[in-house]
């Protein structure tokens, strides 16, 4: 099921608008995508978004008091951003005492901006932003990348019989529980700029609470 080949591609920044409220595309989020270095593909992608009416220009404002999604024994991590409080959640799938070899991660979203309804990712979100590309390294050992960025490498393992995801940020290895994307104030639409990404979780070696910020270049 998993493709073990690593793609060689060129970094490119895209801004998408998705609809998490009343099925209208009104939510702006930034993601970094690696695509083939083709101006034709870039033009086609932008045209596609325009045709769907997905481009929206709105002010982005950081918010406080973000909700925490319900925890369960299979919870891995979740993603939030400074546009609104809707949350993207990742849970492990198990097959007995092992990670499900065919489909080890369940991805879904909680629409806190719309009565906390839980829904699967949209096709665009799954393919271009919050979906995961998963490569099996060995039994209960997977390397994952968000479809938004190939730079961020996530490792899914069983740690003391519990599913966990770790990564290395600023030379600091940590199990992650939350990723928060902060956009720069006063930027919006295609002019939006990422300020930083905050990774929260626990130190891989000590188990103590830890966090790291990765600022935009």
Contacts of 56 (CB under 8 A, 6+ apart): 17, 25, 26, 27, 28, 189
Burial 83-115 (b: 16+ CB within 10 A, else e): bbbbbbbbbbeeeeeebeeeebbebbbbbbbee
For 152-195, what is each residue's pLDDT tens digit? Answer: 999 999 999 999 999 999 999 999 999 999 988 877 666 778 89
Pairing relation of β-strands 194-203 and 98-99?
Answer: unpaired
pLDDT class of 7 with cuts at 50, 70, 90: very low
For 93-138, what is each residue's pLDDT tens digit? Answer: 999 999 999 999 999 999 998 889 999 999 999 999 999 999 999 9
Residue 70 pLDDT = 92
Q: Which of 4, 14, 11 has its CA nearest to residue 49?
A: 14
Q: Which of 130, 142, 134 has its CA nearest to residue 2?
A: 134
Tally helices (H) and strands (E) across the chain: 2, 15
pTM listed for this prediction: 0.72
3 state DSSP class of 67: coil
Place of tokens 């720069």: 184
Residues in the chain: 217
Please, are residues 174 and 202 in contact by the beta-carbon 8 Å criterion? yes
Residue 36 pLDDT = 38
For 127-158, what is each residue's pLDDT tens digit? Answer: 999 999 999 999 999 999 999 888 899 999 99
For 37-79, what is each residue's pLDDT tens digit? Answer: 444 444 454 444 433 333 332 223 333 589 999 988 999 999 9
Q: Which residue ranges make up each domain of the chain?
A: 10-215
């Amino acid at each position: 099921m998993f493709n073990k080949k690593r793609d060689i591609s060129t970094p490119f920044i895209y801004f998408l608008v998705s609809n998490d409220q009343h099925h209208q595309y009104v939510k702006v989020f930034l993601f970094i995508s690696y695509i083939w270095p083709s101006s034709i593909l870039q033009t086609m992608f932008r045209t596609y978004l325009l045709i769907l009416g997905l481009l929206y220009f709105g002010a982005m404002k950081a918010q406080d008091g973000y909700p925490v999604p319900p925890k369960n024994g299979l919870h891995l991590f979740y993603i939030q951003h400074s546009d609104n409080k809707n949350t993207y959640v990742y849970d492990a799938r198990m097959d007995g005492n092992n990670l499900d070899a065919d489909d080890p991660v369940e991805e879904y979203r909680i629409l806190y901006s719309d009565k906390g309804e839980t829904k699967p990712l949209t096709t665009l979100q799954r393919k271009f932003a919050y979906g995961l590309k998963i490569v099996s390294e060995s039994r209960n050992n997977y390397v994952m990348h968000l479809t938004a960025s190939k730079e961020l490498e996530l490792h899914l393992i069983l740690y003391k019989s519990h599913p966990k995801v770790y990564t290395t940020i600023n030379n600091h290895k940590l199990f992650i529980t939350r990723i928060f994307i902060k956009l720069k104030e006063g930027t919006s639409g295609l002019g939006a700029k990422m300020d930083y990404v905050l990774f929260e979780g626990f130190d891989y070696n000590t188990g103590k609470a830890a966090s790291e910020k990765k600022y935009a270049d």
